[in-house]
A and B are shown apart, each in its own frame.
Chain A
Amino acid sequence: MTVGRGVRRSSRRTLRGLTGGLVLFVGLEVLTRAELVSPTYLPPASAVVATTLAILVDPEFLQAVAGTLAGWGLGLIVASAIAIPLGLVLGWSWRGYRASTTAIELLRPIPSVALIPLAILLLGRGLDMRVALVAYASLWPILLNTIYGVRDVDPVARDTARAFGFGTLATLRRVSLPSAAPFMYTGVRVAAAVALIVAISAELVGGGSTPGIGTWMLERTQPGVDRELMYAGIVVAGLLGLGIDILMLAGERRLFGWHHRMRSVS
């Protein structure tokens, strides 16, 4: 019953989404075909779609996508590897948390793109620089969510573990870690979106010869290059962001469905 209703609701939502996309497509098409907007600025939507399909089988472009995803993924892994253990310690120890808040609040507001020149100076224009910047930007949402998650562990749950003879480490592993895990995942999900922005920004500003969507687009700003290519690049970057978000949300629902159901019951 509820499942049927859920499916119907989600299919209705899909239908609405498709309608919206279609209206946008037709609107852009009419706008450009009627030359209400100069085709020099905005090529017809159909031409952009055709070019997008073409570059999706172009090995050079695919290499660029792989390059961006490498910077994105490695940066996220580095950030998680630092932020999760650090967050566990800071969330667990009140003194550690108090000692670190000043440092965190000083470093966190630095926009990661402002660090690009420094990163280029230290690490060059290759993958290392991109990974470092992505890691820096991704660190904060993961760290803060982990700290919050550990601090949010229910004292009754912790007392329960203690009463059954669990020591500090066992309580941390058996209770604090699993009950903070949904928060950590949320941190990683938020970081994943930020990471894509930073990865492409670093490519755009850094340039260099390492493949990436940003560098690929930068090369297509030369005079005489087809404008459709630029729009196709933007479309793919957008689809990448959308795809990452959908996958991360699906993973959250699958892994941590219990968390939301537990919260909504109590």
Chain B
Amino acid sequence: MTSARIEVEHLGYRYAAGGAPALDDVSFSVGQGEFVSIVGPSGSGKTTLLRCVAGLAAPTSGEVRIDGVVVRDVPPGLALVFQDYGRSLFGWMTVHDNVDLPLRRRALSGEERQRRVASALAEVGLAGSAARYPWELSGGMQQRVAIARAVAYAPQILLMDEPFASVDAQTRSDLQDMALSVWRAHGSTVLFVTHDIDESVYLADRVVVLSPAPATVAAEIAVDLPRPRDQVETRAMPAFVTQRAAVARLIRRPGVGTP
């Protein structure tokens, strides 16, 4: 890790003044081009953490820095993929217009926008669905539209909040591989929140394990698995099984490994 892209330092967050904190003291960093998973028990404030990184929520204590600059508002060049694709996509727009909308904020020519939308949709295998509406598509296809929207935006940092939690298992593995190929093709820095231990290990270079709320970092585990990863081969490797078990143990008995 030569240069840290995202630095989270002593981050704390409480929903109401005087209320129970969701995040207690969370610190970790993500290097340029790294794929980092954040995994933790449900209710451990994973989404809140991501919202703080995205500048959508202001931390109660500590800070988030992106490229050394403290995040106070949504930083430029960042894209966010939500779990609720159905609510994140705009029903009054076609798939094409959904992907195109964020590009309108950028100084891009019409042809360039057109080109980016077409190539992003092709990348997620939805080239033929540009003229359809999100609600005409299956859940997995809708989430691909959301990913295409992020891809077309060409973000330096891609944040994903349990993006595959509400699709079926087969679709989930397809989408995981798609996320990996997108990441490889664009070299963006990815922060991927999930509660699925297998998924966190399968995708990432490093897994940050959160303790139950109020969250701290229980451990960071470097994933030592060759790339490109393969749904069958990678998951059958002894190293995958070991690391998966290490994460699972931490989630079940948090506090172990805390410095």
Taking Cβ atoms with an 8 Å cutoff, the residues of A that contact B are 154, 156-157, 159-160, 162-166, 170, 174-175, 178-179, 181, 258-259, 261-262, 265-266
Beyond A165-B102, A170-B105, whether A156 also contacts B84 by CB under 8 A is: yes
Chain B residues within CB distance 8 Å of chain A: 51, 54, 56, 74, 76, 78-80, 82, 84, 86-88, 90-92, 101-102, 105, 133-135, 153
Bound form: Cα–Cα A181–B90 in Å: 13
Give A176 to B252 CA distance when docked, in angstroms: 42
Q: Does B90 contact A266, Cβ atoms closer than 8 Å?
A: no
Min Cβ gap B107→A in Å is: 12
B-chain residues with CB within 8 Å of residue A164 when the two chains form the complex: 79-80, 101-102, 105, 153
A258: contacting residue among B78, B105, B135, CB under 8 A: B135
A174-B79 Cα distance, complex, nearest whole Å: 17
Which residues of the partner chain A approach B92 to less than 8 Å between Cβ atoms?
178-179, 181, 258-259
* Residues of the B chain whose Cβ atoms lie less than 8 Å from the Cβ of A160: 80, 82, 88
A266 to B137, CA, bound (A): 12
Inter-chain CA distance A178–B98, complex, in Å, is 13
The reply to whether B54 and A265 form a contact with Cβ atoms under 8 Å apart is no
**Minimal beta-carbon separation of B87 from chain A (angstroms):** 4
Separation of A4 and B133 alpha carbons in the complex (Å): 23
Contact of B56 with A159 in the complex, beta carbons under 8 Å: yes
Residues in chain B near residue A156, CB distance under 8 A: 82, 84, 87-88
List 7 A–B pairs whose Cβ atoms lie within 8 Å, in order of A's numbering: A156-B87, A156-B88, A159-B82, A164-B105, A164-B153, A262-B86, A265-B135
Q: Which chain A residues border B82 with CB–CB below 8 Å?
A: 156, 159-160
- Which residues of the partner chain B approach A266 to less than 8 Å between Cβ atoms? 86-87, 135
Looking at the complex, which one of B78, B84, B135 makes contact with A163 (CB distance below 8 Å)? Answer: B78
Nearest-CB distance from A125 to chain B (Å)?
A: 44
B179 to chain A, nearest CB (A): 17
Q: A163 and B86: CB pair below 8 A?
A: no
How many Å lie between the Cα of A160 and that of B80 in the bound state?
Answer: 7
Chain B residues near A154 (CB-CB < 8 A): 87
Chain B: CB-nearest residue to A266: B86
Which residues on B sit within 8 Å (CB–CB) of A258? 91-92, 133, 135
**B87 touching A163 by the CB < 8 A rule?**
no
Contacts of B86 in A (CB 8 A): 262, 265-266
Please name all residues of chain A whose beta carbon is closer than 8 Å to the beta carbon of B153 when the two chains form the complex.
164
Nearest A-chain residue to B82, judged by Cβ: A156
* Smallest CB-CB A-B distances: 6 pairs: A262-B91, A164-B102, A156-B87, A163-B80, A262-B135, A160-B88
In the complex, the answer to whether B133 meets A163 with C-beta atoms within 8 Å is no
Partner of B74, one of A163, A181, A261: A163
Are A166 and B56 within 8 A (Cβ)? no
With A165-B76, A258-B133, A262-B135 known to touch, is A157 a contact of B105 (CB < 8 Å)? no
Bound Cα distance from A165 to B88, whole angstroms: 15
Bound Cα distance A8, B94 (Å): 30
Complex CA distance for A40 and B133, rounded to whole angstroms: 60
**Contacts A162-B56, A164-B79, A265-B135; A157 near B87 (Cβ below 8 A):** yes
Chain B residues whose CB sits within 8 angstroms of the CB of A170 once the complex forms: 105
A262: chain B residues at CB < 8 Å are 86, 91, 134-135
Tell me how far the C-beta of B157 lies from the nearest C-beta in chain A, rounded to whole angstroms. 11
Closest A-chain residue to B137, C-beta based?
A265
For B135, give its contact among A162, A166, A178, A261 (CB under 8 Å).
A261
CA distance A184 to B104 in the complex (A): 26
Bound Cα distance from A261 to B134, whole angstroms: 10
Partner of B101, one of A174, A179, A261, A265: A174
For the complex, give the distance between the alpha carbons of A164 and B105 in Å: 8
Contact: B90 with A179, CB < 8 Å? yes
Q: Once bound together, how far apart are the Cα atoms of A205 and B22, in whole Å?
A: 64
Given contacts A166-B105, A179-B90, 11 further A-B contacts (CB under 8 A): A156-B84, A156-B87, A156-B88, A163-B74, A164-B79, A164-B102, A165-B102, A258-B135, A265-B135, A266-B87, A266-B135
